[in-house]
Amino acid sequence: MANYFEKLKLLSTKAYAPYSKFHVSAICLLKDGTEVSGVNIENAAYSVTICAERTCLAQVYTLGYQKADIVKLFLYTDSNQKGSPCGTCRQFLWELIAHDVPLEIYNQKGESYVVTIGDLLPYGFTKEDLQ
């Protein structure tokens, strides 16, 4: 498998993060070998900021792919510690990827760990909760 840390680190330089200076990037690997990427895009009105995971997955679906097409999600954060998706992204991932899809998460030192969204959000909000 390609060196995703290097790809993610380079991709993170495209993030628009003038406020936090915290660059995040994501690459979604699909069954057909396609890689779809995303970066965080901040805004002075913080609530409209979009995280890399959501940018990436929005593109996956825009390109016509679906949940079943997603093999793995790679994530990079500018953290010295273990990085992790925010709560909003966890809920977003819960709905848009299979719960057993591996998420390989890197920090700025190249250290990584692998989890699933089921690990990160064991009780996600679902359409059944709306009934």
Which one of the listed residues 35, 42, 53, 111 is annotated catalytic? Answer: 53
Domain that holds residue 53: 4-123
Name the residue with tokens 């002075």: 44
If pLDDT is split at 50, 70 and 90, which confidence band does 2 have? Answer: low
> pLDDT value at position 127?
87
Query: Is there a domain that residue 96 lies in?
Result: yes
Query: Is there a domain that residue 51 lies in?
Result: yes
Query: Is there a domain that residue 106 lies in?
Result: yes
Query: Is there a domain that residue 17 lies in?
Result: yes
pLDDT tens, position by position, 75-115: 999 999 999 999 999 999 999 999 999 999 999 999 999 99
For the chain, what is the domain count?
1
Identify whether the C-beta of residue 87 lies closer than 8 Å to the C-beta of residue 57: no
Which domain CATH number covers 97? 3.40.140.10
Query: Would you call 104 a catalytic residue per the annotation?
Result: no
Would you call 15 exposed, middle or buried from its count of C-beta atoms within 10 A (0-12, 13-18, 19+)?
A: buried
> pLDDT value at position 126?
87
Query: Is there a domain that residue 107 lies in?
Result: yes
pLDDT tens, position by position, 15-62: 999 999 999 999 999 999 999 999 999 999 988 999 999 999 999 999
Distance CA 50, CA 86 (A): 11
Name, in order, each residue with C-beta under 8 angstroms of 59's C-beta and a sequence gap of 6 or more: 36, 37, 38
pTM: 0.93
The candidate with the shortest Cα–Cα distance to 57, out of 33, 31, 30, is 30
